[in-house]
Homo-oligomer: A and B are copies of this chain.
Amino acid sequence: MGKVRFDISMSLDGFVAGPNDGPGNGLGDGGEALHEWIVETESFQRHHGRQGGETGVESDLLDEAFEGVGAIVMGRRMFDNAEEPWGDEPPFRVPVFVVTHRGREPLAKQGGTTFHFVTDGVEAALEQAREAAGDGDVAIGGGASVIQQLLAAGAVDEFQVHIAPLFLGSGVRLFADGEMLAGALEQTRVIDSPGATHLKYTVS
């Protein structure tokens, strides 16, 4: 069985989206700056079906986030915010399990991404993702709420936080007050790149 893991970009003050996030403003006010280290990379271009982009450590890090992933779990808010910019061919190319209160039929996109809508909670979505992933890893796509719930449930094996050198001041916190982790953290790798600092942890 693969690992359960996530990769997410966070501001130094702890936000993964700025205020007022929603469809058309998926990362909230100012939140696009969180992904500045990503968008020019060759990996980002390739995963979005385009050519070009910069190779190097940041491109390699993004490749690593995709590699070996057999299925994805994500929250409904993230799906709603990003469905339009992802377009007809989202970059995932694996089954994606969306945690939602509103059931709907699976939504198959081009390139291998099919969105499945799971109405019985985040742990049920994780279970379905594990099955779909087989020996592959399950990536938690976000947002913060799904990540917090799975951390608290002790379901996460490892994760990487990409700290962008900026303050957002408000928005969606990755680690909100009162959230507790089941297990202890071990820092396993630190990479410093021009656009961010990449901190990797395992949960034991």
Contact = CB atoms under 8 A, between A and B. Distances in A.
A28 to B, nearest CB: 13
Interface string A162-202: 01011101100111011111001111011010001101010
Nearest to A186: B165
A90 interface: no
Interface in A150-165: 161, 163, 165
B12 A165 contact: no
B187 A190 contact: no
Contact of A169 (B13, B166, B177, B197): B177
A37 to B, nearest CB: 11
Contact of A185 (B12, B170, B184, B187): B12
A14 interface: yes
A163 to B, nearest CB: 7
A165 B163 CA distance: 14
Contacts of A177: 169-170
A169 B179 contact: yes
A105 B201 CA distance: 48
B167 A179 contact: yes
A85 to B, nearest CB: 26
B180 A167 contact: yes
B167 A185 contact: yes
Interface of A: 12-14, 161, 163, 165-167, 169-170, 173-175, 177-181, 184-187, 189-190, 192, 196-197, 199, 201
